[in-house]
Amino acid sequence: MRPTVYVADIAQHEGREVTLHGWLHNRRSSGKLHFLQLRDGTGFLQCVVFKGNVTPEVFHEADHLPQETSLTVTGTVKKDPRSPIGYELDVKDLAAAARPAREFPLGHKEHGVAFLMEQRHLWLRSQRQQVILRVRHTVEKAIRDFFDGRGFTLVDAPIFTPSACEGTSTLFEVPYFDLGKAYLTQSGQLYMEAAAMALGKAYCFGPTFRAEKSKTRRHLTEFWMVEPEVAWMDLEGDMQLMEEFVSFVVQAALGKHGRELKEVLERDVSKLEKVQAPFPRITYTEAVEVIQKTGHPMKWGDDIGGDEETLVASAYDRPVMVHRYPAEMKAFYFKKDPDDPRVALGCDVLAPEGYGEIIGGGQREDDLAVLEAAIAHHRLPKEAFEWYLDLRRYGTVPHAGFGAGVERMVAWICGLHHVRETIPFARMMERITP
């Protein structure tokens, strides 16, 4: 095999004869010219087969190769203003490595969502899905870079857990030897609190599972979440961390994929350019007033649902931070506001353009007696939380953190209708294959 040249590096080879490996993405013909669109994972390159430049056998084959044939092409790299990437390959020779055993199911016209999800393993080959997967990769790398650059330590949380972290959501149950039932994690937060008491600043980044029967564009049963936790941090510090985190990740994705977002995904990137800290902050109480002013029926104590989220978020051109929710609506571990015990020191970040909650977090209850009372109030089994209570028994400190959903962030950044396209193989209530 000759050293492989990639489409992404094609400009370096102008005027030279090179060999590329890839797949036949599409093919057009115009008599004595065949146009082959070669896809190699790094980009798309038009290979021009002129009848006078190749053998009759090669010319005939070039007009009969099916879509997604794997092939090797040799030719001269030529500059051409008609090409979207500025270059074409003037083909001298080509050989099919493997013709498809049967017709490739995905054409270049429209397909329905259900069919595309059934063919997800093949759908990934489309330009659009390639861009989304690359943005996801960049988002995940930016997440790591952000925390690593601020002295956080990555601490992997367990996937098997003995019980619910929050006691509300439905969990996936699995048999666990002689110990009975285990559950797939729905949050690594409690473990990160333990890690923060050891390392000061810690975060976990991994899959999370929710067995809720949610059928919406914002839900998956298996999704990825990053959860930082910081000792000696209050809600104010936490909110500052949130806005700096979101800004960093969005700008990283924009910097690396701005052109693809614009050209392939048709994203209005000017809206992403505005995503710079600080973000607007309003209390839950203020949010309720904003919602009421729009004529939407709502009273203090009601949850902010999807419609209400959009009403609040659409008032700003940046993500909005809604803090100090009614304590009754939040999990047992949230610390109550000393100035108003009706509300918890929690904060949600709502993305603009109707993408909803991308972050949830806040300051944790650090007082042993108050936390014990909260566990009792929520009717949770105290035995299961003894280790968690130990964190308050041995040198308790104020601490805070949050959880950010990767798929919702990617969907927002890419401007997608549904989170299922942001994860390589989505797991949903009605789908577990491929």
314: contact with RNA by CB under 7 A: no
CA dist., res. 299 & res. 303, Å (int) = 9
Find the binder of RNA among 178, 339, 383, 430 (CB under 7 A).
430
Does residue 165 contact residue 187 with C-beta atoms inside 8 Å? yes
Closer residue to RNA (CB): 111 or 137:
111
Query: Which DSSP category does 48 fall into?
Result: E
114 binds RNA (CB under 7 A): yes
Window contacting RNA (CB under 7 A); options: 209-217, 337-345, 364-372, 388-396:
209-217
Tell me how far, at minimum, the Cβ of 3 lies from RNA, in Å: 26
Burial (CB < 10 A; 0-12, 13-18, 19+), residue 271, is: middle
Closest distance of CB 417 from RNA, Å:
7
> What DSSP designation does 357 have?
E
Please identify, using beta-carbon distances, which residue of 4 and 29 lies nearer to RNA: 29
* CB atoms near residue 279 (< 10 Å): 20
> Among the residues of 303-426, which ranges form H helices?
306-313, 368-377, 386-393, 406-414
- Alpha-carbon gap, residue 123 to 118, rounded angstroms: 9
Residue selected from 83, 129, 251, 285 as contacting RNA according to rule CB under 7 A: 83
Any contact of residue 301 with RNA (CB under 7 A)?
no
The answer to whether residue 169 forms part of the interface with RNA (CB under 7 A) is yes
Cα 240 to its chain centre, rounded Å, is 22
Site for RNA in 233-292 (CB under 7 A): none
* Among the residue ranges 267-275, 290-298, 305-313, 368-376, the one whose residues contact RNA (CB under 7 A): 305-313
Phi, psi of 236 (to 5 degrees): -60, -45
Tell which one of 329, 368, 384, 397 touches RNA (CB under 7 A): 329
Q: Which is nearer to RNA, 109 or 379 (CB)?
A: 109
Quote the least distance from Cβ 193 to RNA, whole Å: 15
Determine if 129 is a binding residue for RNA (CB under 7 A). Answer: no
Q: Contact with RNA (CB under 7 A): which of 7, 40, 46, 245? A: 46
Does the N-terminal peptide bond of residue 278 adopt cis geometry, omega within 30 degrees of 0? Answer: yes
Q: Six-digit token pair at 5?
A: 């040249």
List the one residue from 41, 66, 278, 424 that touches RNA (CB under 7 A): 66
79 binds RNA (CB under 7 A): no
10, 38, 48, 197: residue in contact with RNA (rule CB under 7 A): 48
List the beta bridge partners of residue 26: 37
Please report which helix (H) or strand (E) contains residue 193, including its range: helix 189-199
DSSP E strands: which ranges in 210-256?
222-231
- Give the binding range for RNA (CB under 7 A) out of 195-203, 256-264, 333-341, 417-425: 417-425
